[in-house]
Structure 1
Amino acid sequence: MATSRHSLHRHLSTRRRILCAALAAALPFGAQAARLDYDVSMRYMHSDNIVLQAANEISEDILSPQVRFDLTHDSSVLTTRLRGNVQYLDYMDDVYQDDTRGEFTGELEWTLLPERLTFYARDSLSEQSVDSLAAFTPGNQQKINVFEAGPTLMARFGETMRGVLDLRYTNSWAEETETFNSDRYSAAARLLRPLSTTDTLVFNLEAGQTEYDTISEFYNYKRYDAYVTYLSELSKLNLDVSAGYSRLKPEGADGTSSALFRGYAGWQVAPRSQLSARASYQFGDASTDLIQRVGGPNEPGNSSDPVVGQPGDPTLQIIPDTFKQRFASVAYEFTGERLVIVGDVFSEQLRYLRDDSFDTDGVGLNLNARYALTDRLSLNGTAQRYRREFTNTAREDTDTIVGAGIAMRFSRHWSTQVDIRNRKRDSSVGSQDYTENVVMLSVTYYR
């Protein structure tokens, strides 16, 4: 219990420091350099199966006031983006205890010496499962925070070549899963060589050490990476491809090695259409996954997210184990005068190095659309489907979400929205099946 209280105190004080530092640094440069967007909303949700069970379904009504904010600041000295929300959940039928939740993502880059020294900080607070094998109910949620900070030193070698040294400290904290709590220390040396005005080659050497708070004798490890990155920025095509080698050295155990590959391609197919693809083959863990892949809170102005939502990354297990990951995705975005469509499909394979009971093969798709009937009235729809197979426990789950809604903007500052959603899980473990139908109504004031 003492360790938990210490970790909680450290987590809260760390977040306060980064927020205060960002806001304090932004003020001297004038209000014109900063932009704050926020909204205040009252949302009502009715669920016919709030416990997400196959039998003994329980309905619940929830009132949820919420504040969301998006603060950006960009100057020659400081670049900052802080985005988050805070909401209070009033379970009117007392199926669960009333709760206060918050999500936050923030990045800060502070130039101390131009082209010589910068300080970087990043924080990610999200809601994730306590037991990832069970349904994501209000009783199966915990706050996860990953904080990263450190200096970046830069130097020039000749007319074009540039060197970069990144020093980073990372703290990972879980509200319930204490074995996840850890500290990470890393250094990365990079040599950048431009090939042309559009192409750059980067040589990377990285080393890091991860130390866990409660299970250090089993899971502490060192990691070493060596890889080459090719960057290209053309008028309609962007490429970011890395290839190399990684080695993990667990404390008191034999090391393991693997090839490393990360690739991204973004193509502007047409003025209103963009296609992108990602692929990776690498070592990973929950902390790096959270800070790199989990989306932050929805931006102010979007009220269609459910009162009781989905985890930021449904594939993620909040455990200390390291895994080998194969991942590929393709995404498409169309932005028309009235119609906006955003969709992606992905495939992922995770193989854990110590506990293979969480080894999974997963595929999924996400599709969101919005159509403006008039300047003030719009329709929206969403469809998500994700299938994961646990390869060593003979379990397979398929999760499906479909929904539709209508939004009315009364004025510059006021809007209302109604959404309906159906959430369903089909599982080879019969007790994990469920179906939930949700109706949501929100009234929102925008700054």
Structure 2
Amino acid sequence: MLALPSMAQAARLNYELGAGLMHSDNIALRETGEISETVFSPRLRFDFEHASSTLRTHFRGDVQYLDYRHGTYPDDTRGEFAGELDWTISPERANFIVRDSLSRQSIDSLTAFTPGNQQQINVFEAGPSFHVRVGEAMRGQLDLRYTDSYAEETRTFNSNRYNAAARLRRDLGDTDRISFNVEATRTEYDQFSSLYDYERYDAYVNYGSRLAATEINLDAGYSRLEPQGGDRSSSALFRGQAAWQASPRSKLSADAAYQFADAAQDLILRVGDPSSPIDPGIGNPDNPNLQIVPDTFKQKRAGLGYEFTGTRLHVLAQAYRERLRYLRDAAFDQDNHGGALYARYELRPQLHLTLHALRENREFLSFDRDDRDATLGIGLASRMSRHWGARLDYQRRKRDSSVGGQDYVENVVALSFTYYR
């Protein structure tokens, strides 16, 4: 941990510098004609937090350079970033929010997530919030937001979004609150604007409760879409998250959604929702079901989670089921379900055995395609000293597809060394 000299009590910076060597027996993820490749990869990871009376920030990121030793793919630099800044302009009256999300996604989600089928996606959001107190227990809020979405390859995704939201919140006690919200959004795409530009209107009630062992957050209301080049659509809106600390070591969680959504909305939400705390070691798609397209979809989703934190064992299990129906192009309509298991066990002090297993089933309705993806990985992670660590990982990925030529099996071995600060 590194404390910045001028703000020793307010800032925290952790970073890792490392390098790894990875060997794949099927880097192109082909059914036949597999290509072996070795990749050398220097890497920087960082996590920065700062809090003061007027400014709160949290930035985390990962930058790596990929050197393909046999030249199967061009050498590349990749980055992932999620950041949030909250500047208090006037206490309890006005603040300014900035969020940014940079991630790796597929260019074509119907083909395997190979190095040649990846692109950087950036979603930037910024705007002020104005607050007013209405009595002792009620507050009003006005949010104004601008969002810019950019895709490295899929240029039809690039857009500008303008949002205004009015909220009236009332505290029901020390643990419960309720708010009434109305939002209006205008989305303008750089390309095919006459087809994809739309206005969206939402009205919903939010209820939140935080007790000693439980936490609940619910949205319920109504949404209406008014596309520039199509018919209006309307739907009920529901979003919910719940968590229960069943015991000092066990936590249960659940989430559900019934709403209109799109790729940019999905990506900006990841700023406040970091990935699994148990690092699998070898990268996988950030969201394999996300289509980087301008189309809006109706989402039905339900998920369950369980986390156990013991003296030596840490386990995280997740499962979900999801249905996506696109409003413009039914080609990406799909039903998905899957699950993930992450585990870390302390064999002895500073030596951990890690395990991850993922299963993803995707059924595309318009062209009768069913993909079944499975990933299994095991690793050893050693913290050799306060500043140095090493890791050895093995991972196997497999796809069974109903479409010919899309099956593959890949085995990967990776060795890395890291300096921690």
Give the TM-score of the pair, scaled to structure 2: 0.97
Cα pair 1:105 1:297 within 8 Å, conserved: no
The match for 1:247 among 198, 209, 224 is: 224
Shift, 1:325, TM fit? 0.2
Contact 2:162–2:187 (CA<8 Å) still a contact in 1?
yes
C-alpha separation between the residues in 2 aligned to 1:403 and 1:73? Answer: 35
Aligned match of 1:305:
281
Query: Which whole-Å CA distance do the structure 2 matches of 1:320 and 1:92 have between them?
Result: 36
CA distance in 2, matches of 1:58, 1:416: 27
Which of the numbers 22, 39, 57 marks the counterpart of 1:80? 57
Report whether the alignment pairs 1:268 with 2:242.
no
Task: Answer yes or no: is 1:71 the counterpart of 2:45.
Answer: no
8 Å CA contact 1:303, 1:442 repeated in 2: no
SS in 2 for 1:292: helix
The equivalent of 1:117 in structure 2 is: 94
Which residues of structure 1 form unaligned runs of 5+? 1-25
Distance 1:438 1:120 in 2: 41
Q: Is the contact between residue 266 and residue 274 of structure 1 (CA under 8 Å) also seen in structure 2?
A: yes
Q: What's the Cα RMSD here?
A: 1.5
The change in CA–CA distance for 1:210 and 1:73 in structure 2 (over 3 A counts) is same
SS of 2:223's partner is strand
Task: Report the alpha carbon displacement of residue 376 of structure 1 after superposing the two structures with TM.
Answer: 1.6
Q: CA deviation at 1:214?
A: 1.1
Q: How many residues align?
A: 418
Pair 1:383 & 2:357 matched: yes
State the secondary structure of the residue aligned to 2:246.
Answer: strand
Which of 168, 189, 201 in structure 2 is aligned with 1:191? Answer: 168
Could you tell me which of 255, 261, 284 is aligned with 1:284?
A: 261
Moved more, 241-250 or 309-318: 309-318
Residue 332 (structure 1) shift = 0.7
Aligned-pair CA distance for 1:215: 1.1
2:332 pairs with 1:348: no
Structure 2 distance, partners of 1:257, 1:407, is 50
- TM-score, structure 1 normalization: 0.91
Which aligned pairs between 1:88-107 and structure 2 lie closer than 5 A?
Answer: 88-107=65-84
**What is the distance in 2 between the residues matched to 1:423 and 1:76?**
48
SS at match of 2:405: helix
Gaps (5+ residues) in structure 2?
none
Task: Give CA-to-partner distance per residue, 1:41-85, whole Å, 9 cap, x none.
Answer: 110100000000000000000100001111100111111011111
Given that 1:84 and 1:296 are in contact with CA atoms closer than 8 Å, whether structure 2 keeps it comes out as no
Q: Which residue in the other structure is 1:318 paired with?
A: 292
Query: CA offset at residue 30 of structure 1?
Result: 2.1
Identify which of 227, 232, 242 aligns with 2:209.
232
Say whether the 8 Å CA contact 2:196–2:229 is kept in structure 1.
Answer: no
Identity %: 59
Are 1:145 and 2:127 an aligned pair?
Answer: no
Gap change, CA 1:208 and 1:118, over 3 Å in 2: same
Per the TM alignment, residue 290 of structure 1 is displaced from its structure 2 partner at its CA by: 1.1
Once the two structures are TM-superposed, the CA of residue 298 in structure 1 deviates from its matched residue by: 7.8
Deviation by residue 1:332-390 (Cα, 9 ceiling, x = unmatched): 11110000001100010000001001000000101100000111211000000000100
Per the alignment, residue 133 of structure 2 pairs with 156
Select between 248-257 and 153-162 the one with higher mean Cα deviation.
248-257
Give the Å deviation of 1:252: 3.6
Q: Is the 8 A contact 1:104 1:297 kept in 2?
A: no
Contact 2:101 2:270 in 1 (8 A): no
Q: Secondary structure at the match of 2:298?
A: strand
Is 1:216 the counterpart of 2:193? The answer is yes
- Answer whether contact 1:89 1:99 (CA < 8 A) is retained: yes
Q: Distance in 1 between matches of 2:232 and 2:55?
A: 41
Question: Does structure 2 conserve the Cα–Cα contact (< 8 Å) formed by 1:344 and 1:366?
Answer: yes
Deviation readout 1:406-433 (Å, 9 max, x if unpaired): 1111100011110100000000012110
What do residues 81-111 of structure 1 show as CA deviations (whole Å, max 9, x unaligned)? 1111111101001111111111111000010
Sort the Cα spacing of 1:373 and 1:197 in 2 relative to 1 into closer, same or farther, 3 A. Answer: same
